[in-house]
Structure 1
Amino acid sequence: MNAVIELLQRHRSIRKFKPVPLTSQQIEAIVSSAQMASTSSNVQAYSLIAIRDAATRSRLAELAGNQAYVADCGLFIVFCADLHRLEEAASRHEESFHTNTESLLVATVDAALAAQNAAVAAESLGLGICYIGGIRSEAEKVSSLLKLPKLVYPVFGMCIGTPDQQPSHRPRLPQDGLLHWDAYEEEAMQAGIDRYDRTMHEYYKERTQGKTLTTWSRGIADKYKKPVRAHMKSFLEARGFKLE
């Protein structure tokens, strides 16, 4: 173990923050760290929208499903997949610019890698973070609010700030249920679900003083029994992304 691994393994999502804004030095350090994340072929196909305006923060909190901590945290950043900047760069050399499913994946992965670097940097400064995928539930309204051009879409937001809670760690899947050697091991995966269901049943039972008796697989079944954010395909196509 070392300090970096210990920091990573202490991660918890923070949903209650003290009313303390981030300093310019903290923001610079977090963004600089985000920029040093791996990026496919150095395309850097992402942009960050840091939200300072209180009214905009409140509106984003509402659009994200009335998650108050979007408005209350020290800083809220929207991580966007951005092919618009790449199109502009290519146009300076009078070249045609083609997009497809792969370029959309590259931009989304680039944004996610940058965000995780930002998260680790923030936590190393004693801050807490929480990813907000809920902004995709109203992706068109979020895009309009933030004046995002074509070929840019909001992947998720991130609350960053001084924690005002100490939530417990949520257990993760057992390693031997998700780490496969040389090929996908179906039996190990199935056994991993069984063990994790038992673990999460006890976790929920203790966390809720016996009020919630459920399992991880039950939650997955409930979440995916109908399409999740089925509007995203048409939304992305309307923003110029080609899913081909």
Structure 2
Amino acid sequence: MAMYDNANTVEKSFNLSYISEHLIQAQWAEFIELKKVITEIYNAKKSPITILDIGIGNARIPMHLCGIKEIWEMIELYDGTDNAQACIDISNKNIADYKIENKVKVFLFEATELYKIQKKYDLVICTWFTPGNFYPTNFCFETYKNADKILNLTKNEKFDTVFKNAYNLASLGGELLLGACYIDNDSTRLKQEESYNKMGMTVITSLEDTFTATKEGFWSQRFTIEKLYNYLHFVDTKKIVITALDTYDYAMQVRIKK
């Protein structure tokens, strides 16, 4: 089951009443940086660009982009994928309500199968902490709280698979954009736990873990720069640009240029 394939999680994840101020401000910080990236790629290409959004959720990004004429005109098409039917349904409704069906399409698709997509995009994005949602296949939410050892995330094969394939979907001169990503520190961990508690979830991880998970099946990993470099081993670190999204080491944006 996908993380967002239950009604309670979907309702609270997209309802600002349940979302912490840190998360809300991270949304806007990454959106501002995203507009800069779109503009940069558009100016280099000198024509409208194509975008793939991995984990499109409720179509929040295109809903906001379409309200800014100067940016929206820089986009030729916007494809989105999600592995939760509930998110696909919400996205399709929002896309119809905003009358942007001419540019935006969404598809039910597992991120681990991105290699099946037979086209290239100028910009491949994965936003609002979705990069940290790709947990190891064998992780057990039911038993982890009582596990006798901490999960070592020096390697996360699912993250490696998803983002190597995502990078391969970027056209030459394009890029893969990951943002926002949680920064791994104790302050961020506490903010994550606060957010999930506000959504009525029960945290099953401890201060020794480098991720936060809940009994309800929600998972979000935190990252150090060193760990990101390790996961993104398929690209020269000179092509990776990291931007802080705040002044208190909560979230960062990661650009991987092709």
Return the structure number with greater helix share: 1
TM-score, structure 1 as length reference: 0.28
TM-score, structure 2 as length reference: 0.27
Bigger Rg, which one: 1
* Higher RCO (CA 8 Å, separation ≥ 6 residues): 1
